[in-house]
Amino acid sequence: MDKLNKNKNFGVPDGYFDTLSNDIMKKILKEDFSMPPNEGFKVPEGYFETFNARLSGQLEIIQAEEIKVIPLKSYKKHLYAAASVAAVVLLFILVQINNDKTPSYSDLANSDIEQYFEFNDLELSSYDLAEILPIQDMDLNDILESRLDNDNIIDYLDSHIEDFEELNMHHDD
């Protein structure tokens, strides 16, 4: 058998398909397709004669009762989805409205500003800072930690300065 398989690939004998349908028909005719008498389903006697009467009686009973109709497509899922989308959009809008406030200089704490200048080297000289800062709107008491009263200033000048020219109050006109 090995010798036959080595030499031949898959092949069909000559005239095989010509006689195939006849061979199949012969096998079908030889088979017995009848059902044994004890197997299968049995129908009670007179079943089909009384079937119409029983069916119409059941239909009349069903029509007399009120039947609850259950829709096949439920719209609750769509309503829940629409409500959740609306809630997300509303939440997003509310968050955006509350965040419209842009931060300003007055929102910063003094300690934050001091810390920024302390840890970041701005490479600005005192002259550069003097040009940047609005001196017209500033008061000396804004810069100093303790407030200076006019009486204290006059007392200091009286005790430390003997000549008014030392104050450098010359106006070159």
What's the token pair of residue 74?
A: 């439920």
pLDDT at residue number 167: 66
- Residue 119 to residue 4: CA distance in whole angstroms: 94
| Domain ranges, ordered by start, for the chain | 109-167
6: pLDDT confidence band, cut at 50, 70 and 90?
low
Rounded mean pLDDT of the chain? 78
pLDDT digits (tens, 9 = 90+) for 85-131: 999 999 998 888 777 667 677 777 777 878 887 788 777 777 887 77
pLDDT digits (tens, 9 = 90+) for 39-84: 777 888 888 899 998 898 888 877 777 777 777 777 888 889 999 9
Whether the model pTM is above 0.95: no
